[in-house]
Structure 1
Amino acid sequence: MPIESGSCASARQAKQKRKSHSLSIRRTNSSEQERAALQRDMLEGQDSKLPSSVRNTLLELFGQIEREFENLYIENLELRREIDTLNERLAAEGQTIDGAELSKGQLKTKASHSTSQLSQKLKTTYKASTSKIVSSFKTTTSRAICQLVKEYVGHRDGIWDVSVAKTQPVVLGTASADHTALLWSIETGKSLVKYAGHVGSVNSIKFHPTEQVALTASGDQTAHIWRYIVQLPTPQPTADCSQVSGEDEFEFSDKDEPDGDGDGSSDCPTVRAPLTSLKSHQGVVIAADWLVGGKQAVTASWDRTANLYDVETSELVHSLTGHDQELTHCCTHPTQRLVVTSSRDTTFRLWDFRDPSIHSVNVFQGHTDTVTSAVFTVGDNVVSGSDDRTVKVWDLKNMRSPIATIRTDSAVNRINVCVGQRIIALPHDNRQVRLFDMSGVRLARLPRSNRQGHRRMVCCSAWSEDHPICNLFTCGFDRQAIGWNINIPALLQEK
């Protein structure tokens, strides 16, 4: 028999399709009436306690559901017919190309054989490529040495922030929801000084760049500047009481209960009065930091503003407004008069105070959820972390899009960057801490088990690049801070 042309065959199939579709519609409409009448008769014959209006509504709803399923069934039949037609065309083309007369069964056998060969090749290629990727990840993470060195236990509630002093002696500072801040000996894990001047949760702590002075922000709507004096004796590293007995703001507290481990905040001097109290916010002060030089300080609050203060006079110099929702963090540049503030409005802002006459602001948009922190790095880069499970690296000269994006499986809290090695420490809600380089390559994940690592949300990370024992500190809501020794080879960082 002669083979029909393609146009005639397609026209013929289109007519058949329209005909079958119209028939199906007529059948559906006619059958709907019959089914509705039948269902009403059946329900009327039943002893139902439902009102007639409710029964009629149910009938209409079930009828709509049945019509939807019937339409789907008809569409499925039509799709099957089209598939059969295409298979017949492929079979005819196969006969013409091969130049041999193959039966339908032989064509199916040949097609299934070629398909199985193709799928086998795809599986082999996929397994090979996947094994290469997995092996490269294993090689990368195994070469990074991350060891837990010390645990700092003594707070009675979760720890929000951790920081390392920039002056000698180098001590560790923690800010806790138990309304206190503690200073620790990094080597021994003993608490040296307790600050108890706040009446609310202490949300952040930062050390003065040149003096033994700390800046803490609190939920009591204030930020406090307070002085500490510590000395680390060689035999028993504890706070030297003779060095602080002459200071009015230091008081020893015998009422402090010792912690369960015996190495907490007991028997250490307590500072109860600040040198200066910064009071201008109408909401929780969530973070605070020193500007370069230490003569000014900036605070970030839930009242949607950030304030710049003169430290000596405690006067408000500038009120930084513009965020649409509560602020979550603030950070200052180590060498320039730049401030970055992050907010729940999914943005962070860069405030420039380098020119006294011009105070410019730039808005960075790129996250889809709360920006939990934004910090400066070397050069003109800013790194931001968010609850949208991403960390983005930005160039201050190009605000439109990030130069690198790190995607994770959990919300990211207050991040910190190791300036010398250009490594980002990511504390997560899921108790993990991960390390990435500035290009977004994952370097390591800190070990965590039932006996090692954080047992609850990790809130903050802080690097101490020059310390020989612990060069990374983390804190969390398991009421402890942890000191880590991170050793990442230079070759691994170059990759």
Structure 2
Amino acid sequence: MPTESGSCSTARQAKQKRKSHSLSIRRTNSSEQERTGLPREMLEGQDSKLPSSVRSTLLELFGQIEREFENLYIENLELRREIETLNERLAAEGQAIDGAELSKGQLKTKASHSTSQLSQKLKTTYKASTSKIVSSFKTTTSRAVCQLVKEYIGHRDGIWDVSVARTQPVVLGTASADHTALLWSIETGRCLVKYSGHVGSVNSIKFHPSEQLALTASGDQTAHIWSYAVQLPTAQPIADTTQQVCGEDEVECSDKDEPDVDVDVSSDCPTIRVPLTSLKSHQGVVIAADWLVGGKQAVTASWDRTANLFDVETAELVHSLTGHDQELTHCCTHPTQRLVVTSSRDTTFRLWDFRDPSIHSVNVFQGHTDTVTSAVFTVGDNVVSGSDDRTVKVWDLRNMRSPIATIRTDSAINRINVCVGQKIIALPHDNRQVRLFDMSGVRLARLPRSSRQVFK
């Protein structure tokens, strides 16, 4: 009996203490709300030299931060209640379990283990909420303005890849699911050459580093090398597109005043139907292909889980790169070194080293939790990888144990590209948005998106 009355007394004291603690927290919360509400009203009412748009943006950001902290505060209160409930239950179990008492050390160990789990959950909640707030700050640190300058209309199906020639004349190349690759004048938007040698979707296009040659990969299980000769038309003055300017936070631009275009402009282009060389050895879709530095060899990536290295002049298979457990999604070569990076649905990307002609080494990187959709080199010593896990990671080739920057997004990442000169990362998403980031992971802008249903 003394034991029971003592335990009841202890329980009542704990309950009263918890009520008073909860009451003090609510009072503190209400007083904090009163204190935070006053400066905001003063900020809205006082005279300021800031433009109204900037002030509204600041107020919106402060409101978002306040809401995030409020949600975090509520979650922490719930976690505290769970911890107190758990401690009470453990204390009750410590009184008697089937007539036997737990030792003080056993009870302490059990309570410590359960509390540590809840503490880890608390830390995770803090980290997740804080990352949202930090992301909000990042989106407003730099507001670049993107302007629609030119449209390239002519494909009859989705465009899988875009590339720019490295030699004169500088042309734009596009690879499409309509079984063709088109070359365009960048200045005028006119189609210059159509390649129709594939019998499947054209999944990628890359230009030779020093000659007028193009390398295309296709769903017909082949990669083609073909030659082109173009004469650039005279550039016309660029029309005024000031109405098309989109800020970072705008989702799409309106095209209400522009007529829908449904003309096959590629039908007037000179057509190439036969390749110079056909690279054959894969047993599945060839999803990507690229030139090694120097242009004497080419690498292809396929859904048959292999990447193959070919001699361009003879079309002979030099190496078959095996090791991925699932389909390959992309391949890329280093601009100045004999290095190849391949990405796969097995959540990894691999770095292949061909700098020593006698042997080639491979390093496997497991930095993602879902399909790695692409991994590309930059001019320096960095690799940028994108994944369906909604993250993009920047790696240092000299130390790839952990990424030097991580970009977290709200949608899966498609085939990424890097602007070599300005070190800007372009991220196309499954939600039809394209965002621009710098190499440190700070968002710079969002590209304007047309609402018209045409293929560009």
Query: TM-score, normalization: structure 2?
Result: 0.66
CA distance 1:372–1:219, change in 2 (3 Å): same
Greater CA drift, 442-451 or 251-260 = 251-260
Deviation string, structure 1 residues 247-280 (Cα, Å, up to 9, x no partner): 9999999999999544720211000000000001
Which SS does the other structure have where 2:194 is aligned? Answer: strand
In 1, Cα distance between equivalents of 2:47 and 2:442: 70
CA distance 1:107–1:67, change in 2 (3 Å): same
Which SS does the other structure have where 1:99 is aligned? Answer: coil
Contact 2:306 2:323 in 1 (8 A): yes
In 1, Cα distance between equivalents of 2:326 and 2:65: 45
Greater CA drift, 414-423 or 88-97 = 88-97
In 1, Cα distance between equivalents of 2:123 and 2:387: 37
CA distance 1:214–1:144, change in 2 (3 Å): same
Contact 2:248 2:445 in 1 (8 A): no
Aligned to 1:73: 73
Once the two structures are TM-superposed, the CA of residue 422 in structure 1 deviates from its matched residue by 1.5
Structure 2 unaligned spans of 5+: none
Once the two structures are TM-superposed, the CA of residue 448 in structure 1 deviates from its matched residue by 2.7
CA distance 1:105–1:46, change in 2 (3 Å): farther
Deviation string, structure 1 residues 30-59 (Cα, Å, up to 9, x no partner): 999999999999999999999999999999
Q: In terms of Rg, which structure is larger?
A: 1
CA distance 1:41–1:367, change in 2 (3 Å): closer
Greater CA drift, 282-291 or 112-121 = 112-121
Identity, % of aligned positions: 92
Contact 1:192 1:239 in 2 (8 A): no
Once the two structures are TM-superposed, the CA of residue 442 in structure 1 deviates from its matched residue by 1.1
Contact 1:251 1:272 in 2 (8 A): no
Alpha carbon RMSD of aligned pairs, Å? 20.1
Contact 1:302 1:327 in 2 (8 A): yes
CA distance 1:143–1:399, change in 2 (3 Å): closer
Which SS does the other structure have where 2:173 is aligned? Answer: strand
Greater CA drift, 315-324 or 8-17 = 8-17
Contact 1:251 1:271 in 2 (8 A): no
Once the two structures are TM-superposed, the CA of residue 371 in structure 1 deviates from its matched residue by 0.4
Aligned to 1:371: 372
Once the two structures are TM-superposed, the CA of residue 81 in structure 1 deviates from its matched residue by 14
CA distance 1:232–1:246, change in 2 (3 Å): farther
Contact 1:288 1:330 in 2 (8 A): yes
Once the two structures are TM-superposed, the CA of residue 397 in structure 1 deviates from its matched residue by 2.6
Aligned to 1:451: 452
Deviation string, structure 1 residues 138-194 (Cα, Å, up to 9, x no partner): 984663121111111111111111100111111110001111000011111111000
CA distance 1:68–1:24, change in 2 (3 Å): farther
Once the two structures are TM-superposed, the CA of residue 344 in structure 1 deviates from its matched residue by 0.4
Deviation string, structure 1 residues 310-332 (Cα, Å, up to 9, x no partner): 00000000000000000000000
In 1, Cα distance between equivalents of 2:24 and 2:209: 82
Once the two structures are TM-superposed, the CA of residue 420 in structure 1 deviates from its matched residue by 2.3
Once the two structures are TM-superposed, the CA of residue 379 in structure 1 deviates from its matched residue by 2.4
In 2, Cα distance between equivalents of 1:131 and 1:243: 32
Contact 1:230 1:243 in 2 (8 A): no
In 2, Cα distance between equivalents of 1:216 and 1:157: 17
Aligned to 1:182: 182
Once the two structures are TM-superposed, the CA of residue 63 in structure 1 deviates from its matched residue by 49
How many positions carry a matched residue from both structures?
Answer: 452
In 2, Cα distance between equivalents of 1:325 and 1:12: 61
Greater CA drift, 275-284 or 65-74 = 65-74
Contact 1:190 1:263 in 2 (8 A): no
Greater CA drift, 140-149 or 339-348 = 140-149
Greater CA drift, 362-371 or 260-269 = 260-269
In 2, Cα distance between equivalents of 1:354 and 1:211: 23
CA distance 1:253–1:286, change in 2 (3 Å): farther
Contact 2:213 2:228 in 1 (8 A): yes
Query: TM-score, normalization: structure 1?
Result: 0.61
Contact 2:79 2:118 in 1 (8 A): no
Once the two structures are TM-superposed, the CA of residue 368 in structure 1 deviates from its matched residue by 0.9
